[in-house]
């Protein structure tokens, strides 16, 4: 089952007011429970693995294989002073790191030129360290996240001047 299908299912359950939905395929079993007044609880069970319980916001981390991490989403922000900049967003939930280890220099700093495919940070998800590569060529204008802090899916990480 694809990530966007799971996310759509969670959104549907949240909007419908249904308290529980169970979906089972040959590879995976998903149970979404929404106790009144609380956040959705998602249970994802692979046929070969035990049940994993998580909140709906962590579905990205569970359903997308970390080794095949998606590239960061790149969008231009609108309606702000930074409208000429491109925002590089997190492709997953995890812990953001600016360097490969505490004693190493940061992958990128403000003012650095970056090219498409250059590693700009690491996001640790489920004990796997995923190198995040730039999808845009330009100059780093601002780092929006502190080192070694948790990040959410689609959270802005960097502002890049594409000119």
By the 8 A CB rule, do 57 and 41 touch? no
Concatenate the DSSP letters of all residues of 72-90 into one string: PPEEE--SSTTTTSEEEE-
Q: How far apart are the first and last CA of the chain?
A: 39
Give the model confidence (pLDDT) of 142-160 as tens digits: 999 999 999 999 999 999 9
Instruction: In the chain, list all ranges with CATH 2.40.50.100.
Output: 68-161
Give strand pairing partners of 130.
123
By the 8 A CB rule, do 128 and 135 touch? no
The listed CATH number (3.90.180.10, 3.40.50.800, 3.40.50.300, 2.40.50.100) that belongs to domain 68-161 = 2.40.50.100
Sheet holding 28-33, edge to edge: 20-24, 28-33, 41-46, 52-55
Rg (CA), the chain: 18
Q: How far apart are CA 85 and CA 72, in angstroms?
A: 15
Query: Is 78 in a helix, a strand, or coil?
Result: coil
Distances (CA, A) of 88 to 91, 97, 113: 9, 15, 14
Give the model confidence (pLDDT) of 5-58 as tens digits: 777 777 777 777 677 777 777 777 777 776 555 555 555 555 544 444 444 444
Tokens of 28: 């995976």
60 vs 153, residue with greater confidence: 153
Give the model confidence (pLDDT) of 77-116 as tens digits: 444 466 789 999 999 999 999 999 999 999 999 999 999 9
């Amino acid at each position: 089952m694809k990530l966007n299908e799971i996310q759509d299912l969670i959104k549907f359950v949240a909007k419908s007011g249904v308290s529980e939905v169970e979906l089972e395929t040959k590879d995976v079993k998903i149970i979404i429970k929404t106790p009144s007044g609380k956040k959705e609880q998602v249970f994802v069970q692979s046929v070969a693995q035990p049940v994993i319980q998580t909140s709906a916001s962590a579905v990205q981390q569970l359903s997308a294989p970390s080794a095949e991490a998606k590239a960061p989403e790149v969008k231009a922000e609108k309606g702000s002073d930074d409208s000429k900049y491109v925002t590089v967003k997190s492709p997953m939930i995890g812990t953001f790191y600016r360097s490969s280890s505490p004693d190493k220099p940061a992958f990128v700093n403000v003012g650095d030129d970056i090219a498409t495919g250059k590693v700009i940070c690491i996001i640790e998800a489920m004990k796997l360290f995923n190198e995040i590569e730039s999808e845009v060529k330009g100059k780093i204008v601002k780092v929006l996240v502190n080192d070694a802090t948790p990040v959410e899916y689609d959270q802005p990480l960097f502002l890049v001047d594409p000119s």
